[in-house]
A = this chain, B = another copy of it.
Amino acid sequence: MAYSALLTDLYQLTMLAGYFEKEMHDTPAAFDLFFRKPPFLGGYAVFAGLGSALDYLSALRFTGDDLAYLKSLRIFKPAFLDYLEGFSFRGRVTAMAEGTVAFPLGPLVTVEAPLAQAQLVETALLNIINFQTLVATKAARIVTMAGPGEVVEFGLRRAHGPDGGLSEVRGAFVGGVRSTSNVLAGKILGIAVKGTHAHSWIMAFPDELSAFRAYAEVFPDSSVLLVDTYDTLESGIPNAIIVAGELRDRGHRLAGVRLDSGDLAYLSRQARRMLDEAGFPYVKILASNELDEYIIRSIQENGGCVDIYGVGTRLATCQGEGGGALGGVYKLVRFGDQPKLKVTSDIAKSTIPDCKRLVRAVGVDGKFQMDIMCRMDEVLEPGEVVFDPTNPARNKPIPASARLEDMRSLVMDGGEATGPSPSLDEMADRCREQLSRLPEGVLRLENPHRYKVSVSRSLNDLRMQLIDEVRRGYPHSVVRS
């Protein structure tokens, strides 16, 4: 995917112009990208989008066209436009691997660069990572509920714009979806494409049976027949069984049937029984129609016999309570040689200053126990007390038996990726493995267990000290006038 340097908010460019004029643009700065609440009222998020973000950063240049456009706005001075002509991102990026399970406040990504470079990229990084992480999380929730059932992505027609569809498929794959109907995504991302046929195929033939026969003739080994155009159990399944028999007589196998309306649990049970009784246990049942993690759970609780779930709108648009957007933010944590934080009247929403390590405590059973942020040079010890940044009453020690693992690594240095990007399959494998190590309650759809994220004593002290300084400081800046 190609990204433009203009993929940003205007205020990033006006701030850059200001920093440039004040000769602050080359001062070193660091920003953390993190979120405050897991999406969908859930207990976790699945980090995704890094590969796309690194593509954006490494190719970031202003073209002649871009500069001509900026000049036409008549708000930028020539010296600044000259500066933009030579602009590129030369900074460092520290990040989680895609597919890693992430929790509130822990930085997913940290950008260290001269202020102008670190500031300009905020909007695009948030755009890319907010959406792909949101979709990967939705996909993980759906795949978790689907259990052994396969999940295929069908959302392009309801995705938010043509590229909304592409970004969505990438995120969905990180979260565990196995194939898509989106042909362009298949080509660009190198992933499996799948499909059936539409109701219009049936309507273009005199009757359902001739429509099925025609499709099976063209695709004798990969036909999935849509059986609900007229009546699923009275017409669709009986006709599919006829065609399955005709295919078998010619040495082929009907791949599947698709249910796209009605009571999917009931219809899939009946369809399974009818197919089995007719001698076609290998014909798979694909279900679609406004599916999400809740409806898939309900189908299973009601004894549904679905092999493949086709998930469209609700994955593509990340609908659902607490969905629609991941509220990821990008906050200044260090400027020059000073740690920085943003204080708000609600102390729980004040940010956590400075560059930091993000460490995960892992139990002897391999399960994740808590995440801890600490200072760069700090050595954490199991057993030491760590601090809840949102509620001091929840301070507690790192479990004594914990193994401590660093959750992030340097992925870009001097504007260049430190290594090749993992494949989407590797990301999906990581996601599956990470989900299996979550404390069980964290996966729950309703009122999940709240996974603990803490800060070390040293980082907590720094934060409290800075909050105090800001609070003492701001009336002063008024009085000074």
Contact = CB atoms under 8 A, between A and B. Distances in A.
Interface of A: 1, 3-4, 6-15, 17-19, 21-22, 24, 27, 29, 31, 66, 69-70, 73, 75, 115, 119, 122-124, 126-128, 130-131, 154, 156-168, 181-184, 186-187, 193-201, 203-204, 207-210, 214-215, 217-219, 222, 229-231, 234-235, 238-239, 242, 261-262, 313-314, 316-319, 323-328, 331-332, 335, 340, 342-345, 470, 473-478, 480-481
Given A130-B157, A164-B167, 14 more contacts: A11-B195, A15-B201, A21-B217, A69-B187, A123-B156, A131-B160, A159-B160, A161-B161, A207-B474, A209-B478, A238-B478, A313-B324, A313-B325, A323-B324
Contact of A14 (B19, B128, B187, B195): B195
Nearest to A17: B218
Nearest to A68: B187
A162 B127 contact: yes
A398 to B, nearest CB: 31
B9 A158 contact: no
A352 B317 CA distance: 28
A122 B229 CA distance: 18
Contact of A124 (B162, B235, B242, B324): B162
Nearest to A184: B6
A207 B313 contact: no
B230 A3 contact: no
A403 to B, nearest CB: 36
B313 A317 contact: no
Nearest to A193: B10
B29 A158 contact: no
B209 A158 contact: no
Nearest to A18: B218
B131 A331 contact: no
A262 B346 CA distance: 11
Contacts of A480: 207, 209
A165 B3 CA distance: 12
Contact of A156 (B127, B207, B238): B127
B239 A481 contact: yes
Given A19-B204, A119-B200, A164-B163, A219 B158 contact: no
9 contacts: A10-B194, A18-B218, A24-B204, A66-B187, A131-B161, A158-B325, A160-B161, A234-B475, A235-B477
Nearest to A73: B193
A250 to B, nearest CB: 16
A328 to B, nearest CB: 8
Contacts of A222: 75
Contacts of A234: 474-475, 478
A242 to B, nearest CB: 5
